[in-house]
A and B are shown apart, each in its own frame.
Chain A
Amino acid sequence: MTTFIGKREIPVIIVVILSLVMIIPFFIVVPALNVASTEIQRMLVPIAGFALILGGLNVTLRNAMKISKRNKGWPFSIVLLATFIFFLVVTLTPGLEMLYTTAYVTVLGKVNEAIMALIAVFMATMAYRGFKIKSFETCLFTLSCLIVMIANAPIGEAVWAGAPDVRNWIMDYPNMAGMRALNIGIALGIIAYGIRTMLGRERIALGDVEVKVKKE
């Protein structure tokens, strides 16, 4: 038995069985598989919980080691561990809901909002670089973007009454066609990746990193 099923084959067999149990009920009416598929999806929650525990332990150990060895950036590890322990305690201790809400909404929420505000600036600077006309294609790209932006701006219709119609055409036809082409390619890519994993060919996905890399 061990001759045929080795360390490498076991994860492949698990992947194949679970994948088939999940895929078949999507297309074919098999009541038993429907139940099994639902159960597997329910099982994902505790499995993810174990992965979270593993990750949490990893973070704690790594940062504790960093502090004990006084590695570069060790004071940040103290902040990380203190925050980690604080949130763990206020989440798990009954009666501390108010403290949790205060810490989460008024501190973390506001810090998150400040970081997300950066996106507005970064999007504008990225768009500025993207709109530089270097070729015929970038000229078309910039023109279509300008039309869509004018039509979306509150003042757009006053600037050019026809802008919303042109915007709708751009979004409904050329844009939609491009997005569908990309989505078809992505779907086929995911199917191929799934089959590669099921056949045991996608080695990194199965924890085997001994992959070939073309020698430079």
Chain B
Amino acid sequence: MNLVISGRVADFVLFLIFCGTILALTLQAGRGKRFELKKRLPALDAISEAIGRAVEMGRPVHYTPGGNPLHGVRGTHIQMGLVICGHVARICARLGAKLMVSVATAEQIPIAEEIYRGAFVAESRPEVQPDVRFYGAGDPSFGAGCLGTIFRERAAVNMIIGGSGSDFPIVAEGAFRAGAFQIGGNANVFMIPLVVAACDYTLIGEELFAAGAMLSEDATQLAGIVANDISKVFIVAVILLGVVLMTAGAPIVLQLLKL
């Protein structure tokens, strides 16, 4: 009997390589090695600029991690949205901006409130009560709720970073019509074109997952981004090797990947 499930041998080996790379670099970072990123994501720098603009205008900032639930594949997108929400809340607390956070599912309420409260306490503003708004799990209700908040409160900035489905066009286009500066983030490949069309700054695909690490500036988290880049170089090399060998009539790479 095979130890590894048939058809998943190549997946398993690749998974071990990627995990090994991330772990090795994380351990190096833990021992004191510094990893410098050559390029910073423009959307991350735009967050503080946008919040500063909202403070100057005397209008609030609206943030939502999106309308998807906290579980499942898209749950990781929501989790990243909540991670970035912590950073946004701290910048709001420091600059004195009013922050409104909209969530779609009930289980996100205590998490978002805790993140909100913790960020304001960390910036010595414990008197600020978390302004977390619940609009229900369902794209129409969530989209309409966010849209109403943005229009009623005249939000100067709208950030929709996390996991969104069909609620995204409602919220983003509504916020555009309200004149809000927009920062969008999404890792759903079908929503990415809409994010690019609607938002001033974007975090698309893996940028969403790298953003939390970049904002923290924690050495071990930055090591994960470097490890991801190394893994991508490895994948591109395997693809090129496969193309060359396939063209030469030797489908070795294809056969190995099917193991």
Does B26 lie within 8 Å of A195, measured CB to CB?
yes
Minimum CB distance partner of B22 in chain A: A195
Does A209 lie within 8 Å of B189, measured CB to CB?
no
Minimum CB distance partner of A199 in chain B: B26
Minimum CB distance partner of A120 in chain B: B169
* Complex interface residues of chain A between 177 and 207 (CB less than 8 A to chain B): 179, 182-186, 188-193, 195-196, 199, 201-205, 207
Does A119 lie within 8 Å of B110, measured CB to CB?
no
How far, in Å, is B122 (CB) from chain A's closest CB? 6
Minimum CB distance partner of B2 in chain A: A29
Contact among A56, A184, A193 for B209, CB-based, below 8 A: A193
Does B90 lie within 8 Å of A213, measured CB to CB?
yes
Does A52 lie within 8 Å of B106, measured CB to CB?
yes
Does A116 lie within 8 Å of B140, measured CB to CB?
yes
Question: A208 CA to B231 CA in the complex, in Å?
Answer: 29
Question: A191 CA to B110 CA in the complex, in Å?
Answer: 26
Tell me, yes or no, whether B114 is within 8 Å of chain A by CB: yes
Give the residues in chain A near B198, CB-CB below 8 Å.
126, 129
Tell me, yes or no, whether A18 is within 8 Å of chain B by CB: no
Does B19 lie within 8 Å of A201, measured CB to CB?
no
Tell me, yes or no, whether B159 is within 8 Å of chain A by CB: no
Contact among B12, B82, B140, B187 for A189, CB-based, below 8 A: B187
Known: A182-B205, A185-B206. A28 touches B4 (CB 8 A): yes
Q: Chain A 30-44, CB within 8 Å of chain B: the 1/0 string?
A: 000000000000001
Contact among B113, B134, B139, B225 for A192, CB-based, below 8 A: B225
Tell me, yes or no, whether B257 is within 8 Å of chain A by CB: no
Tell me, yes or no, whether B150 is within 8 Å of chain A by CB: no
Question: A196 CA to B76 CA in the complex, in Å?
Answer: 13
Contact among B76, B114, B216 for A207, CB-based, below 8 A: B114
Minimum CB distance partner of A115 in chain B: B140
Question: A113 CA to B139 CA in the complex, in Å?
Answer: 11
Q: Chain B 118-153, CB within 8 Å of chain A: the 1/0 string?
A: 110010000000000010001111011000000000
Does A195 lie within 8 Å of B224, measured CB to CB?
yes
Does A27 lie within 8 Å of B4, measured CB to CB?
yes
Q: Chain B 205-248, CB within 8 Å of chain A: the 1/0 string?
A: 11011101101111011001101100110010000000000000
Q: Chain B 160-179, CB within 8 Å of chain A: the 1/0 string?
A: 00000010011011101000
How far, in Å, is A98 (CB) from chain B's closest CB? 22
Tell me, yes or no, whether B86 is within 8 Å of chain A by CB: yes
Contact among A52, A125, A201, A204 for B173, CB-based, below 8 A: A125
Question: A115 CA to B166 CA in the complex, in Å?
Answer: 11
Give the residues in chain B near A27, CB-CB below 8 Å.
4-5, 8, 11-12, 15
Question: A204 CA to B118 CA in the complex, in Å?
Answer: 10
Give the residues in chain A near B169, CB-CB below 8 Å.
119, 122-123, 126
Question: A28 CA to B217 CA in the complex, in Å?
Answer: 36
Does B170 lie within 8 Å of A54, measured CB to CB?
no
Tell me, yes or no, whether B1 is within 8 Å of chain A by CB: yes
Contact among A192, A208, A214 for B224, CB-based, below 8 A: A192
Question: A130 CA to B172 CA in the complex, in Å?
Answer: 13
Question: A112 CA to B136 CA in the complex, in Å?
Answer: 12
Tell me, yes or no, whether B109 is within 8 Å of chain A by CB: yes
Tell me, yes or no, whether B71 is within 8 Å of chain A by CB: yes
Q: A199-B220, A201-B218 are in contact. List 5 more A-B contacts (CB 8 A).
A: A27-B12, A58-B109, A186-B205, A186-B206, A196-B224
- Which residues from chain A sit less than 8 Å from chain B, CB to CB? 26-29, 44, 48, 51-52, 54-56, 58-59, 111-113, 115-116, 118-119, 122-123, 125-127, 129-130, 179, 182-186, 188-193, 195-196, 199, 201-205, 207-214, 216
- Which residues from chain B sit less than 8 Å from chain A, CB to CB? 1-5, 8, 11-12, 15, 18-19, 22-23, 26, 48, 71, 76, 79-80, 82-83, 86-87, 90-91, 94, 105-111, 113-115, 118-119, 122, 134, 138-141, 143-144, 166, 169-170, 172-174, 176, 187, 189, 192-194, 196-198, 204-206, 208-210, 212-213, 215-218, 220-221, 224-225, 227-228, 231-232, 235
